[in-house]
C-alpha cells in the first residue's frame, strides 16, 4: 500500500471552480511546449483564448494530470499529446481513462479526487454525503481547509464525472467536459443522488487496466514479480478503486492482454489469484499502451 504522505499532496480547490474542458489539456501542453513561461505571461489570456481564472485552471489541470511537470512538458504529456503521440486530440475514450488514472496516481495533487475514488466507499450518495465525509477526512491531513473550498471540490467532481442538478433543472455538461464519457459516476435521473458504476465499462480497454495494474505493482511491490488480485482491487490507490472494477472484469482484462504477450499472466494457487509479470512493470506498461495505440493507428515515437 502507498502511504498517503507519498500518495498525495493536500491540495484543495486549485481549479478555480472549472473542471477540465475539451481541448484544455492539449492547448496547455502545446503552448507550454512552445514557451514554458506561458502561464506567467501577462498576455496568457489572449494567447490561450480564455479568461485569467481559466489560465490558472488550465495550468493546474495540466500539472495535476501530469501532462506538465511544473510548467514544462512531462514524459506522459509527450507520449499522449505530442504530434506523433498516442492520441493528440483525445479521440479515443481510452485516453480519458488513462488521464483519469494519471490524475489519481502518485503524487496526486487533487486531494478531494483522491478521497472520492480511494477513501470514500459509498456506492450511492448525495453531494452532502461526500462533503461530510471529505470534511472529516481532511482533518487527518493536518491541514486547515475551509468548507467553502471543499464544497467547490465536491461540485467540480460531480460536474466533471456526472451531472449536477441546478435550480434551472437537470444539466448536462458533457458538451464541455470529456470525462463524463467515462460514465463512472451516474446521476439517478432528475435527483440529487449519485451512484458509482462498478464493473465493466464498454469504453475502458483491457490494456489501460493492465497498464495501471503494472504501474501500481511497480510502486507497491518493488522487486516482486507478483501481486494479489485482491490488492489490485481494494488497496488504497489501486486501479480497482480508481476504475471501480469487479474481480471478474479485472481478471478478464489481464487474461485478454496475456493472450498477446508472454510477459504476464494470471495464476490461481490455493484459491489465491495472483497477477504475475516477468519484466520491469513500468516499461511493460508503456509497451502495452504503445501496442494498443499502434493498433488504433497511432503510436508514440520518441
Query: In the chain, what are the domain boundaries?
Result: 23-89, 92-197, 206-295
**How high does pLDDT run on average in the chain?**
92
Task: Please give the helix or strand (H or E) that residue 166 lies within, else none.
Answer: strand 165-166
**pLDDT tens track for 22-61:** 999 999 999 999 999 999 999 999 999 999 999 999 999 9
The highest-level CATH class for domain 206-295 is mainly alpha
- The more confidently predicted of residues 75 and 271 is 75
* pLDDT value at residue 163: 57
* pLDDT value at residue 234: 97
Q: Do 92-197 and 206-295 share a fold? A: yes
Domain 92-197 fold is Arc Repressor Mutant, subunit A (1.10.10)
Rounded Cα distance, 236 and 5, in Å: 12
* pLDDT value at residue 172: 47
Q: Are 254 and 264 in contact (CB under 8 A)?
A: yes
Amino acid at each position: 500500500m502507498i502511504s498517503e504522505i507519498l500518495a498525495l499532496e493536500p491540495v484543495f480547490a486549485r481549479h478555480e471552480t472549472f473542471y477540465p474542458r475539451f481541448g484544455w489539456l492539449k492547448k496547455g501542453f502545446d503552448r507550454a511546449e512552445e514557451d514554458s513561461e506561458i502561464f506567467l505571461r501577462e498576455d496568457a489570456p489572449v494567447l490561450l483564448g480564455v479568461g485569467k481564472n481559466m489560465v490558472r485552471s488550465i495550468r493546474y489541470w495540466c500539472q495535476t494530470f501530469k501532462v506538465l511537470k511544473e510548467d514544462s512538458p512531462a514524459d506522459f504529456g509527450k507520449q499522449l499529446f505530442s504530434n506523433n503521440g498516442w492520441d493528440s486530440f483525445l479521440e479515443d475514450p481510452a485516453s480519458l481513462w488513462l488521464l483519469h488514472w494519471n490524475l489519481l496516481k502518485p503524487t496526486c495533487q487533487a486531494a478531494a479526487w483522491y478521497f472520492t475514488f480511494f477513501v470514500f466507499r459509498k456506492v450511492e450518495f448525495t453531494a452532502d454525503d461526500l462533503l461530510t465525509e471529505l470534511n472529516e477526512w481532511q482533518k487527518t491531513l493536518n491541514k486547515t481547509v475551509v468548507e467553502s473550498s471543499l464544497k467547490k471540490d465536491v461540485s467540480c467532481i460531480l460536474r466533471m464525472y456526472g451531472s449536477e442538478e441546478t435550480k434551472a433543472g437537470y444539466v448536462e455538461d458533457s458538451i464541455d467536459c470529456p470525462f463524463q464519457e467515462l460514465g463512472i459516476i451516474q446521476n439517478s435521473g432528475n435527483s440529487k443522488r449519485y451512484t458509482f458504476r462498478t464493473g465493466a465499462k464498454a469504453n475502458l480497454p483491457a490494456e489501460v487496466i493492465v497498464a495501471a495494474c503494472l504501474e501500481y505493482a511497480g510502486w507497491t511491490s518493488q522487486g516482486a514479480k507478483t501481486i494479489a488480485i485482491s490488492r489490485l482491487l481494494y488497496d488504497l490507490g489501486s486501479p480497482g478503486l480508481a476504475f471501480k472494477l469487479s474481480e471478474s472484469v479485472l481478471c478478464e482484462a489481464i487474461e485478454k492482454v496475456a493472450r498477446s504477450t508472454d510477459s504476464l499472466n494470471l495464476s490461481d494457487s490455493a484459491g489465491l489469484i495472483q497477477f504475475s509479470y516477468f519484466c520491469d512493470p513500468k516499461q511493460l506498461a508503456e509497451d502495452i499502451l504503445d501496442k494498443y495505440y499502434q493498433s488504433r493507428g497511432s503510436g508514440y515515437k520518441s
